[in-house]
Amino acid sequence: MDKKSLTAVARQQLKIAGSATSGRSSQTIYGGHSRSLRQTVVGLAAGQSLAEHDNAGEATLLVLNGTLQVVSGSDTWKGSAGDLIVVPRARHSVEALEDVAFLLTVAK
């Protein structure tokens, strides 16, 4: 069995994102591209985004801290700490309304 502190990983990713020129950072904590399940903690500095992209499979975002919004076409979902957002199976983007860390879970 393996155990990770999402709080500690989120704090680390936000620190890295805050000093990165891209304003973002991520760490896969379970699985990977060669597995059917992947879980990644993503940190985004306020005002930064993940540009519009396609969904690689079923996915959810669990907001660990901060506030974000997911945008798909004319639909927008706002999330804050503790919110679970089911990622639409359509092109979408993620925008940090303030410094935010979230757990992205993708199942292909």
Mean pLDDT (the chain, rounded): 94
Domains of the chain as residue ranges with CATH? 6-107 (2.60.120.10)
Residue 54: which of 77, 29, 72, 35 has the closest Cα?
72
Torsion sign across C-alpha atoms 85, 49, 47, 71: negative
pLDDT reported for residue 25: 97
Judge whether 70 and 100 are in contact, CB under 8 Å. Answer: no
Q: What is the pLDDT of residues 49-62, one digit of tens each?
A: 999 988 878 999 99
Q: How far is CA 41 from CA 61, 73, 74, 75, 88, in A?
A: 10, 25, 26, 24, 19
Q: What is the pLDDT of residues 2-30, one digit of tens each?
A: 899 999 999 999 999 999 999 999 999 99
Show the CA angle centred on residue 90, arms to residues 87 and 91, nearest 5°. Answer: 100
Torsion sign across C-alpha atoms 80, 49, 35, 9: negative
Residues in the chain: 108
Q: What is the pLDDT of residues 75-94, one digit of tens each?
A: 999 999 999 999 998 999 99
pLDDT greater than 80 at residue 67: yes
pTM score of the predicted model: 0.93
